[in-house]
């Protein structure tokens, strides 16, 4: 569809939205930011950002009455849907971080990093790390196992179906750093902060998905 498409970044009060909008602007796209159901329902593509606590995010989505709209767009109308960081986790069924159910867009759960007391690894997992590509995808065109992305997270996604796993990243042991099923894409890293590889991912989402 190219750069004339209507991309909406869902604003539920907990997103790193400025950096995402700037990335789209850099690539020549004027993405909208909205918490309005009608605006979201008119989108050609949706982005669900997120920084913060799982339950608080789901509470905000509930207060804005966006749950049905998001599920309708993602599952029934099957518009291209990109979840970033907490946004990826919200696409799952549940999280160790809270008690509320997630959006249940994909068959996956969110678990907390737990390391032995004497481990040198810290939580959150923060900084640059590599992705191990597990299947071909247009959103990863130009991205390979030498590509690094920026991470900040204390929880990670566990997919119940291996076929949904797009990339894995190792932090003590491998975890799912991106998933893809049909129109649904989730990335644990922050492509908006990941320089040229993040630019490549956003460009692919604009031009190819």
Q: pLDDT digit string (tens) for 105-139?
A: 999 999 999 998 888 999 999 999 999 999 999 99
> 């390391």: which residue's tokens?
115
Residue 52: give its domain's CATH number. Answer: 3.40.50.880
Taking Cα atoms as reference points, which of 106, 73, 85, 102 lies closest to residue 192?
85
CA distance 187 to 83: 6
Q: What is the pLDDT of residue 4?
A: 65
Cα–Cα distance between 91 and 83 in angstroms, integer? Answer: 7
Q: How many domains does the chain have?
A: 1
- For residues 146-169, average pLDDT: 97
Region 2-27: mean pLDDT is: 91
Q: Residue 26: is its pLDDT beyond 70? A: yes
Of the residues 109, 153, 159, 190, only one is catalytic, namely 190
> How high is the pLDDT of residue 1?
45
Task: Give mean pLDDT, residues 186-197.
Answer: 97
Q: What are the tokens at 100?
A: 């509320």
> Which pLDDT does position 16 carry in this prediction?
79
Average confidence score pLDDT of the chain: 96
Answer for the pair 155, 95: CB distance below 8 angstroms, yes or no.
Answer: yes
Instruction: Tell me the pLDDT band of 27, cut-offs 50, 70 and 90.
Output: very high
Nearest CA among 62, 53, 200 for reference residue 124: 53
Range of the domain at 83: 2-207
Partner residues linked to 34 by β-bridges? 10
92 in catalytic set: no
Q: Is the pLDDT of residue 181 over 80?
A: yes
For the chain, what percent of residues have pLDDT higher than 90?
94
Q: Give the pLDDT of residue 2.
A: 56
Contact 80, 183 (CB under 8 A): yes
pLDDT at 80 over 90: yes
Token digits of residue 99: 């008690």
Average pLDDT (3-29) is 92
pTM, 2 dp: 0.96
On the question of pLDDT at 3 being above 70, the answer is no
Report CA 94 to chain centroid distance, whole Å: 15
* Residue of 97, 109, 180, 192 with catalytic role: 192
90 touches 102 (CB < 8 A): yes
For the question of residue 190 being annotated catalytic, the response is: yes
Of the residues 85, 109, 125, 159, which is catalytic? 85
């Amino acid at each position: 569809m190219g750069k004339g498409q209507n991309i909406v970044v869902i604003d539920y009060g907990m997103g790193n939205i400025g950096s995402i909008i700037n990335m789209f602007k850099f690539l020549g796209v004027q993405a909208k930011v909205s918490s309005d159901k009608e605006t979201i329902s008119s989108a050609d593509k949706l982005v669900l950002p997120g920084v913060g606590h799982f339950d608080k995010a789901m509470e905000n989505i509930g207060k804005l009455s966006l749950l049905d709209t998001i599920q309708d767009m993602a599952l029934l109308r099957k518009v291209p849907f990109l979840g970033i960081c907490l946004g990826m986790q919200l696409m799952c069924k549940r999280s160790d971080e809270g008690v509320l159910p997630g959006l249940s867009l994909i068959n996956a759960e969110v678990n907390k990093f737990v390391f032995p007391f004497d481990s040198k690894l810290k939580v959150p997992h923060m900084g640059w790390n590599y992705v191990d590509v597990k299947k071909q995808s247009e959103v990863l065109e130009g991205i390979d196992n030498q590509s690094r992305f920026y991470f900040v997270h204390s929880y990670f996604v566990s997919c119940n179906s291996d076929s949904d796993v797009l990339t894995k990243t190792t932090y003590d042991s491998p975890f799912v750093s991106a998933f893809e099923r049909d129109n649904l894409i989730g990335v644990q890293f922050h492509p908006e902060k990941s320089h040229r590889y993040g630019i490549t991912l956003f460009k692919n989402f604009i031009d190819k998905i």
